Structure 1
């Protein structure tokens, strides 16, 4: 529009020399849903409020209990309870130890088992950055007794489906998270876990911004032969909607995330040192030094020692106590892999790009697996002809250690969406272009706007192609962008205010199966 000048002088009219551009969205921002000991900062509660953090220190400041002033011991942030339960015969499953010919199973109080805290630690140990925390409530009371069957999966009655669903629903107003992770979902009953996973997949499909990373119930203590029942139960529990937005990993991983400073006598027998004394100071093998230390715990002197000092003294006085702590640590360190995988995704995207498969790489802090899968074992996980639901294996390889050995979504039979990298790349492209195109909402639906949009999107996709995110010898072979009357729109679209843009991309696929052909060649003279 022309401007009428009424005063003599010099006027400057700035004209944009460069068009709008597409700003790539973040690709590795997980949203963790679960229970925390605390959720308060500067007098404000953050329970049931998605909160973005960028470090483990920030997580501790808001979602963990404050430490008391020295010289008192730091408040325990995560205090699972374990019991040594005498067995008539040597256990064949689960963590156990044998003392003076008597076998004891290491069994947890199920009401005290939570996974979110250690999953956040694994996430940052594996290179994680920004994350959303949805704390749905504090820890519940202990039951005061262990589980009765070491072969069954732990179900924590303090973990409620309604709490986790409420936390998930809060994320409908948060478009930035690109992963939904609920480590404590495996502490639900099978039916409740089914409902939660189906709800997560439906929400992910509706929002089209995030993938769901699932853990498999039974992955902590799988039966060497009957573990396939756990796999089948998982496949039956994920429904049929939104499968290309779901990813699962199996089994759990043995980690080093919890150290000897995280477990002491307060984590044994619900803090009842009398039961511990029966093992450390039995009539058949008395240990008066250990008995004296336990007496100081039960009846503190005028100047009591701190728990860390008592713990150190017990470890010196009783080798048996050291064995107990080591076995309890082994049990407590078996964790679902979803938190670690979120960190692996973050590093993968930073170093190679979202179009690279987060596989054939290690997990920092993973030192053991509750089951070692072979090639034949993984066949049924990777490809299932009936359900088509692929499960990614975490495997041990001699000389290489523990590797992530799978790159598929739950939609394993789909030619379009079977690979994680393809699903996440398409989400990245869609959301980046969608947000950039908002600048043109209410702009004239004419050739000038169409040309500007086409140029903007093409420039962005050319950059992705140059980085290796799209396949093709040239940009023309890697993508195409169409917009305009007669190509993507009709006259009715113009009258109704619709601008339709068609974007076609050739996303790179992983080389999942590499076939090398060998044949003998006859020797030649010379």
Structure 2
């Protein structure tokens, strides 16, 4: 009914013709978990701990390597670099081992992981610090982390826009601990239905070059298959173009058992120091591939869409994989009776290094074997769930159902136009069902439930995967 105006003049009414809309949320923002050089805010004060935690700091959003360095510092130089000199037919060569307390020590992966992420097209990311480098302890820390898993999960939830979970730095605690924590984080991701865990298969020998099938079997035996479509794993390690860090004053560099800095300042020793420094500048880290993959996810999502398979892509900042896999070796990684697929990273003549697989851990699943499909549905569930929140206090009646259907149809049509689905037409790509007799009974309506069914064909036309949303309406 038109309004009655009581005075002369011009009156303007704005009508909401299009109703509500669904906003697409970020799809590839990782939360890196591990140890950092520092853990201070902009005022130089220590970061707040997650409520009730003794080690887990609140997440910090960083958008560049510089921002990371301002809050968390740089690379791990807490150990020593023990350099050995060799004479190979009259030519001098060097090898190096990282140590701490006279034992082999793997420097922290957090800083080089951030470098790998940004060099591969990554945007924003969250850092969840578990403490400083010097607090890393192989003996005591695993039990603490196990007890603090709920705090780590809480920190991930505090990272509001995070969608990827990367526990890469925790590899240093060994396969039993890392796989156990990875399974817990994957279970957490499946319950929240908004995260995807990017994992690595641990190499017993990070240098390679020999393929050890036990690396794959250890992973498959340790990681739970339940809800494993919320995780994907990669193998082998990559030779990065980031060198192991050392203190610029050489106070942690040894040559043949003697502190390099303590050598007399002779011409010969000065030359030796320069040769060692040159060697150290090319003493590259063999890294787990997950941070490179997080950057690739981010790059593809922004340029092609979350539905794009993260495969046949060249990672940046690597010399190549440390193991040159064969077709036969990859076959056993790709398909397994247990369903634990492992994605290979391979080197091809004339093509360089390529990511050569895009399967979730649940590689035998009909619906969820592909990473891009799983991540697309995570994205859609998140977007649509947030869109439906606008209807919580609306009446659960026909007019509301029409508005909801129009809103979701518009969102899915936008994805269809971008090429997210397999069908050639909207009808063969998606369907939206809502209403009495379609998705709801009279009892549902009386109890305040609005139910929406969405069917999407991400792989083949008219072969739908169904999503169901149930919302309790306000009174």
* TM-score normalised by structure 1 residue count: 0.77
- Secondary structure of 2:234's counterpart equals strand
2:61 alignment partner in structure 1:
52
2:382 alignment partner in structure 1:
431
- Secondary structure of 2:171's counterpart equals helix
Match 1:107 to one of 80, 85, 97? 97
Match 1:116 to one of 77, 90, 110? 110
1:208 alignment partner in structure 2:
193
1:196 Cα offset (Å): 0.5
Residues 38-74 of structure 1: per-residue CA shift (max 9 Å, x gap): 1212244325111112112111111117xxxxxxxxx
CA contact (8 A) 1:78 1:117 kept: no
Match 1:375 to one of 306, 327, 337? 327
2:464 alignment partner in structure 1:
none
Residues 451-475 of structure 1: per-residue CA shift (max 9 Å, x gap): 0010110111111111110111210
1:97 Cα offset (Å): 7.8
CA contact (8 A) 1:111 1:156 kept: no
Residues 341-369 of structure 1: per-residue CA shift (max 9 Å, x gap): 11111111111111111111111111132
CA distance in structure 1 between the partners assigned to 2:447 and 2:158 by the alignment: 28
- Secondary structure of 1:170's counterpart equals helix
**Count of aligned pairs:** 443
Matched, 1:235 2:234: no
Pairs within 5 Å for 1:481-496: 481-496=432-447
2:258 alignment partner in structure 1:
274
2:144 alignment partner in structure 1:
162
1:90 alignment partner in structure 2:
none
Unpaired runs of 5+ in structure 2?
49-56, 461-475
2:372 alignment partner in structure 1:
421
CA distance in structure 2 between the partners assigned to 1:3 and 1:45 by the alignment: 60
Matched, 1:289 2:279: no
CA contact (8 A) 1:255 1:333 kept: yes
Question: Closer, same or farther in 2 for the Cα pair 1:219/1:341, shift >3 Å?
Answer: farther
Unpaired runs of 5+ in structure 1?
66-75, 87-95, 143-154, 282-286, 292-313, 510-526
CA distance in structure 1 between the partners assigned to 2:340 and 2:283 by the alignment: 30
1:146 alignment partner in structure 2:
none
Pairs within 5 Å for 1:75-474: 78=77, 80-84=79-83, 106-109=96-99, 110-111=104-105, 113-140=107-134, 156-157=138-139, 160=142, 162-163=144-145, 165=149, 166-218=151-203, 221=206, 227-258=212-243, 265-269=250-254, 274-276=258-260, 288-291=266-269, 314=270, 317-318=271-272, 321=273, 324-325=276-277, 328-329=280-281, 331-385=283-337, 387-474=338-425
Question: Closer, same or farther in 2 for the Cα pair 1:85/1:99, shift >3 Å?
Answer: farther
Question: Closer, same or farther in 2 for the Cα pair 1:156/1:217, shift >3 Å?
Answer: farther
Q: Give the root-mean-square deviation of aligned CA atoms.
A: 3.1
2:468 alignment partner in structure 1:
none
CA distance in structure 2 between the partners assigned to 1:162 and 1:356 by the alignment: 38
CA distance in structure 2 between the partners assigned to 1:199 and 1:403 by the alignment: 29
Question: Closer, same or farther in 2 for the Cα pair 1:322/1:242, shift >3 Å?
Answer: farther
- Which has more strand, going by share of residues? 2
CA distance in structure 2 between the partners assigned to 1:447 and 1:434 by the alignment: 20
- Secondary structure of 1:171's counterpart equals helix
Matched, 1:42 2:43: yes
Pairs within 5 Å for 1:490-505: 490-505=441-456
